[in-house]
Chains A and B, each alone.
Chain A
Amino acid sequence: MLDRYSRNVSAITEEENRRLKSFKVCVIGCGGLGGYVIEMLGRIGIGTITAVDCDVFDDTNLNRQILSDTTNLGQSKALAALERMRRVNPEITINSVDRVFDSASGEEIIRGSDVVVDALDNPQAKRLAGVLCDKFNIPLVHGAIAGWYGQVATVFPGDGIMDIVCKDSFSSGIEKELGNPSFTPALMAAIQTAEVIKVLLNREDTLRNKILHVDLLTMDFDILELKK
């Protein structure tokens, strides 16, 4: 085992760490949530990460998006993921996809993934990720943030949970009024990453058929059971 992975053990075993190299995880959105998710998936040793985002960095991203800094403003977020992971962990493969995620591109983007991470920034694209993951039989780790609040749910094909936790009657959420501070995406991305690792390694309890809602103002972490 490479020294770079030695501190992963024994949270995961050496054998599990080796298995991580064979997995492909698609992260849709390389902003607040996605940047941190890619960082953590890359450092733990996921073999192939597809980083999807059609946007470029601007000044408003600097408060929270770990892939952004003052040297790459105006540059592709997906490309920034590739460049950063080359420096952090050249042992892994990053597919940088500088394309919009929509019904035309979505199938090609997610096909062949072992898990998809919803790090998208609007409810409609999130719902599309749910529909396509169902179609291609891929587990989806949903995450969403707004201000002091965040939610995570792990959705397996056929669970139908995205219909409950992400309503398509909204084009945006309360993040439009509340903004997104530095700490909420980091926390929720860490929870999403832990869920990805558990899904891949078939470890313990996930947030399947549940939603975790985090309120950092009141420090409430609530898990609600969901029934279809």
Chain B
Amino acid sequence: MIDLKVEVRLFATFREGREKKYFLDMPEGSKILDILDMLKINADEVSILLLNGRDGDAMRTINDSDVVAVFPPVGGG
């Protein structure tokens, strides 16, 4: 099994009890959801989810060198 190197950036409250940034080795075929599960982040609590700057989906399969950014909803004014 080939490991994929993925950069994961967390923002706002997702940093509580976690690091701001992770460099993870994920098995080939992993989805963004697998990363969220590994970091104990509930996908339902994710608002902005970027895969290499594009709007992502938790079911997307990741590739080597991908950058995933994860934000909770910020909606106040």
Contacts and interface: CB of A to CB of B under 8 A. Distances in A.
Interface string B15-58: 10000100000000000000000000000000110101111000
B75 A173 contact: yes
A151 B53 CA distance: 16
A146 B52 CA distance: 25
A131 B41 CA distance: 30
A110 interface: no
A11 B55 CA distance: 36
B74 A144 contact: yes
Given A163-B55, A215-B12, A175 B50 contact: no
A126 interface: yes
A119 B12 contact: no
A145 B77 contact: yes
Interface string B47-77: 1101011110000000000000101111111
Contact of A215 (B15, B47, B53): B15
Interface in A168-192: 169-170, 172-175, 178, 180, 185
Q: How large is the interface on B (under 10, 10 to 19, 20 to 34, 35 or more residues)?
A: 20 to 34
A211 B52 CA distance: 13
Contacts of A201: none
B20 A174 contact: no
A215 B11 CA distance: 8
Given A213-B71, A224-B53, A175 B11 contact: no
Interface in A6-64: 29, 31-34
B77 A144 contact: yes
A198 interface: no
A218 interface: yes
A195 to B, nearest CB: 16
Contacts of A120: 77
B75 A123 contact: yes
B74 A122 contact: no
A170 to B, nearest CB: 4
Contacts of B74: 144-146, 149-151, 173-175
A118 B76 CA distance: 10
A151 B76 CA distance: 10
Q: Which 9 A-B pairs have the closest CB atoms?
A: A173-B75, A175-B76, A173-B73, A121-B77, A170-B73, A149-B12, A123-B75, A144-B74, A145-B76
Interface of B: 9, 11-13, 15, 20, 47-48, 50, 52-55, 69, 71-77
